Amino acid sequence: MTARVQSVLNEVEYIVGYKTYIDLIRSFITHQQIVATGMRQEIDRCREAIRLAAEGHRVAVVSSGDAGVYGMAGIIIECLEQENLLDLPLEIIPGVTAASAAASMLGAPLMHDFAVVSLSDLLTPWEVIEKRVRLAAEGDFIFALYNPKSNGRPHHIETVREIVLRYRRPDTPVGLVREALRGEESSVEITTLDDFTNHPIDMLTTVIIGNSQTRIVGPYMVTPRGYKL
């Protein structure tokens, strides 16, 4: 946790967030009042945070990773717009998104152009996601896949594998990082494009698929930047 984040948490009166994320910062909570909600209640959280802020309270909205990457920053601004409260002071504190966290545990797989794609089709039609995967695969982008597999959509990750195999070698390195940088809960595995869906993957896993130049260097997964050594 950065010094700025800790400073903000110490200053606020309310902390608003998803229950799981509140639990992750529980040790930093002292005097603040907590407003915690479950999954898929992002709009409710934003509206409650804005209501409290409009009353004059100092409020922190907790988001995982980086609030500006699949996080809460965008919906907060949209709700402020809807409530005609864009003049309310707002600070967005950057964090470490899962792609960066996972990459740091694998070595250096994101040293060239990469595409971050969420496989969750709750807010984006699957047809759109599939098209983005195909175009990024054709363009030889490295992939960082978020929300790769859930009980409700167990086959999307297999479809992605089949699409990417049209453009890349079966032995292309793939990194699987679960709960990146979350201490003892974290796990790291390096496998191949041909085989990676045979390994455990869930919503807490970040999948990094290398491009045509990605290789294994000792224990590391590395995509060369292009320097002449």
Q: Would residue 43 count as lying in a domain?
A: yes
The stretch 112-132 carries a mean pLDDT of 97
Contact 120, 202 (CB under 8 A): no
| Domain edge (last residue) among 33, 48, 83 | 83
Q: Is the pLDDT of residue 145 over 90?
A: yes
pLDDT band for position 1 (cuts 50, 70, 90)? low
| Domain edge (last residue) among 83, 107, 125 | 83
* Mean pLDDT of all residues belonging to the chain: 95
Are 171 and 115 in the same domain? yes
Q: Would residue 89 count as lying in a domain?
A: no
The stretch 110-137 carries a mean pLDDT of 97
Q: Would residue 16 count as lying in a domain?
A: yes
Q: Would residue 158 count as lying in a domain?
A: yes
Top pLDDT among 115 and 41 is at 115
> What local confidence, expressed as pLDDT, does residue 5 receive?
84
CATH of the domain at 21: 3.40.1010.10
Torsion of CA 197, 202, 204, 205, to 10 degrees: 0
Q: Is the pLDDT of residue 16 over 90?
A: yes
The stretch 161-171 carries a mean pLDDT of 98
Note down the domain range covering 142. 98-222
Domain count, the chain: 2
Are 78 and 104 in the same domain? no
CATH of the domain at 161: 3.30.950.10
Are 103 and 205 in the same domain? yes
The stretch 177-188 carries a mean pLDDT of 91
- Interatomic CA distance for residues 67 and 63, integer angstroms: 5
Instruction: Write the single-letter amino acid at 94.
Output: P
Q: Would residue 156 count as lying in a domain?
A: yes
> What local confidence, expressed as pLDDT, does residue 4 receive?
85
> What local confidence, expressed as pLDDT, does residue 70 receive?
94
**What is the model's pTM?**
0.92
pLDDT band for position 28 (cuts 50, 70, 90)? confident
Q: Is the pLDDT of residue 172 over 80?
A: yes
Are 48 and 123 in the same domain? no
Are 67 and 111 in the same domain? no
- Interatomic CA distance for residues 74 and 159, integer angstroms: 29
Q: Would residue 20 count as lying in a domain?
A: yes
> What local confidence, expressed as pLDDT, does residue 103 receive?
98
Among positive and negative, which fits the CA dihedral 121, 183, 2, 16? positive
